[in-house]
């Protein structure tokens, strides 16, 4: 489990960016696969999620995750739901002690938020679509509705695909530059003619930086390049496709 300095110093906040290590799954899911949407044995996924919650000092029933769809939609979590009840959206906020908000990723950026003074936490799944459509801003706004203030809120961006691993096509580049010309500096030319290397973490940090937050932390890991520690959709695709595991990032108010 990895932690962010900006969140580790906050009283009453438990958080973690979990690697793929320390679980019970095998094969392509080895070993801490927490993705309910994968084809892994559901019993293994439940055990892996329970192990992650134990690391945070919480019970297995504390974790709430969503059916992620690359949206900018947010849910307020008061009590965790079952797998069949989980909503289709990409961000969660809560002010309920003992509830953990979980994000599942395999290259997208998990972003955890906390206003410890207000006792409000948030978690967002920031792939390029969600980040471009405003999931980060929507999360901070939903936290404010629960009593948080941006100038007291800190955010941490977890492991995601790095620029050197993230080749995109010309249409992708054009979409971002059309939305904001300043995004051009987040792209480098790729070895393949007409393609680019995109800095997802840099884009997420830039969107967060416009929100007036108290602090932003970034964990400098490349999920695609580090097969020993992280699951990666892009790496799986490059190697011929098939299913893949999902890493969990979670935050909650201590009971």
Q: What does the pLDDT average to over 170-191? A: 98
pLDDT band at 85 (very low <50, low <70, confident <90, very high): very high
Q: What is the per-residue pLDDT across 125-156, written as a single tens digit (0 to 9) for each?
A: 999 999 999 999 999 999 999 999 999 999 99
pLDDT tens-place string over residues 97-113: 999 999 999 999 999 99
Convert the pLDDT of each residue in 192-215 to its tens digit. Answer: 999 999 999 999 999 999 999 999
Indicate the helix (H) or strand (E) that contains 91: strand 91-94
Start-to-end CA distance of the chain, whole Å, equals 20
Instruction: Quickly tell me which residue has 């990032």 as its tokens.
Output: 249
Per-residue model confidence (pLDDT) at position 5: 97
All structural domains of the chain with their residue ranges: 5-162+199-246
CATH topology of domain 5-162+199-246: 3.60.140
* Residue 49 pLDDT: 98
**Which residue pairs from 182-189 have beta carbons closer than 8 angstroms and sit at least 24 positions apart in sequence?**
182/206, 188/163
For 249, counting Cβ atoms within 10 Å of its Cβ (0-12 exposed, 13-18 middle, 19+ buried), the class is buried
């Amino acid at each position: 489990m990895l932690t962010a300095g900006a969140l580790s110093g906050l009283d009453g906040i438990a958080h973690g960016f979990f690697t793929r290590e320390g679980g019970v799954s095998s094969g392509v899911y080895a070993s801490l696969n927490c993705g309910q949407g994968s084809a892994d044995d559901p019993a293994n996924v439940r055990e892996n999620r329970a192990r992650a919650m134990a690391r945070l000092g919480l019970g297995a029933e504390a974790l709430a995750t969503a059916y992620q769809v690359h949206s900018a939609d947010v849910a307020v979590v008061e009590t965790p739901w079952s797998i069949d009840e989980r909503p289709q959206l990409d961000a969660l906020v809560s002010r309920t002690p003992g509830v953990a908000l979980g994000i599942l990723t395999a290259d997208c950026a998990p972003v955890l938020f906390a206003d410890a003074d207000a006792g409000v936490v948030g978690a967002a799944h920031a792939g390029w679509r969600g980040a471009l459509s405003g999931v980060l801003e929507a999360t901070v706004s939903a936290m404010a509705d629960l009593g948080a203030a941006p100038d007291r809120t800190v955010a941490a961006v977890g492991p995601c695909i790095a620029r050197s691993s993230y080749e995109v096509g010309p249409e992708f580049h054009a979409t971002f530059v059309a939305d904001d010309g300043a995004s051009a500096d987040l792209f480098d030319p790729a070895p393949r003619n007409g393609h680019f290397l995109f800095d997802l973490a840099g884009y997420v940090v830039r969107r967060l930086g416009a929100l007036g937050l108290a602090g932003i932390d970034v964990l400098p890991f490349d999920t695609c390049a580090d097969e020993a520690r992280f699951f990666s959709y892009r790496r799986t695709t490059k190697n011929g496709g098939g299913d893949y595991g999902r890493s969990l990032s979670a935050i909650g108010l201590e009971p």
